[in-house]
Chain A
Amino acid sequence: MPKTRVGVFVCHCGNNIAGVVRVPEVVEYARGLPNVVHVEDNLYACSEEGLSAIKEQIAEQNLNRVVVASCTPRTHEPLFKAACEEAGLNKYLFEFVNIREHCSWIHMHDPARATEKAKELVKMGVAKACYLEPQEELESEVFPAALVIGGGVAGMTAALNLGRQGIQVHLVEREQELGGLVRNVRTLFPTEQDTEELLEPLVEQLKSHPQITTYLGGEVENVDGFIGDFDVTIATDRQTKELKVGTVIVATGAHELKPTGFYGYSRLPNVVTQLEFEERFKQEGADIPRNVVMINCVGARIPERTYCGRFCCTTAIKNAIWLKEQDPEANVYVLQRDVMAYGVDIEKFYRRSMELGVRFVRYDIENPPQIMGEERAEAVKAYHQLMGREVVLPADLVVLTTPLVPREDNERLSKMLKVPLGSEGFFLEAHVKLRPIEFATDGVYVCGSARYPSNIPESVSQAYAAAAKAAIPIRDGLVRVQAITAFCDEGTCTACGNCVQVCPFGAIELQEGRFGTTARVNVAQCKGCGCCVAACPSGALQQRGFDDRQLFSMICALAEEMTSGFGG
Chain B
Amino acid sequence: MVLEDRGGDGFEPKILIFACNWCSYAGADLAGVSRLQMPPNSRVIRVMCSARVRPEFVITALSQGLDGVLILGCHPGDCHYSEGNYLTRRRGLFLKNLLEYMGIEPERFQVRWVSASEGAKFADIVEEVTGQLKGLCPNRPPGHSE
Contact = CB atoms under 8 A, between A and B. Distances in A.
B64 A484 contact: no
B81 A552 contact: no
Interface stretch (A117-125, A247-255, A315-323): A117-125
Contacts, number: 190
A219 to B, nearest CB: 20
Contacts of B124: none
- Secondary structure class of chain B's binding surface, majority of residues: loop
Interface in A247-289: none
A329 interface: no
Contacts of B41: 568
A484 B48 CA distance: 9
Contacts of A415: 77-78
A562 B145 CA distance: 11
B117 A530 contact: no
B72 interface: no
B70 to A, nearest CB: 13
Interface in B87-110: 87, 91
B52 A533 contact: yes
A11 to B, nearest CB: 14
B52 A530 contact: yes
A423 B40 contact: no
B16 interface: yes
Nearest to A565: B138
Interface string A123-144: 0100000000000000000000
Interface bracket on A:
35 or more
A418 B145 contact: no
Interface bracket on B:
35 or more
B125 interface: no
Contacts of A112: 7
A279 B14 CA distance: 61
B31 interface: yes
Nearest to A484: B48
B83 A531 contact: yes
A15 B56 CA distance: 39
Contacts of B54: 533-534, 548
A565 B65 contact: yes
A558 B140 contact: no
Contact of A101 (B16, B28, B60, B82): B28
Interface string A525-568: 00111110111000000010010100110111011001111111
B84 A74 contact: no
Contacts of A421: 117
A106 interface: yes
A73 to B, nearest CB: 7
A234 interface: no
Interface in B30-51: 31-33, 35-41, 43-49, 51
B118 to A, nearest CB: 7
Contacts of B65: 559, 562-565
Interface in B9-40: 11-14, 16, 21-23, 25-26, 28-29, 31-33, 35-40
Nearest to B41: A568
Nearest to B11: A566
A565 B15 CA distance: 11
A552 B116 CA distance: 26
A211 to B, nearest CB: 31
Given A107-B37, A529-B49, A551-B45, A565 B139 contact: yes
Given A106-B36, A551-B57, A568-B12, 13 more contacts: A72-B29, A98-B29, A102-B32, A106-B123, A108-B35, A124-B45, A534-B53, A552-B57, A555-B16, A558-B14, A559-B14, A565-B140, A568-B14
The 7 closest A-B pairs by CB, nearest first: A565-B138, A568-B12, A101-B32, A530-B52, A562-B65, A559-B64, A534-B54
18 contacts: A72-B29, A72-B32, A74-B26, A98-B46, A101-B29, A106-B38, A420-B23, A422-B116, A440-B116, A531-B87, A533-B52, A551-B47, A552-B60, A555-B60, A558-B61, A562-B64, A563-B144, A564-B140
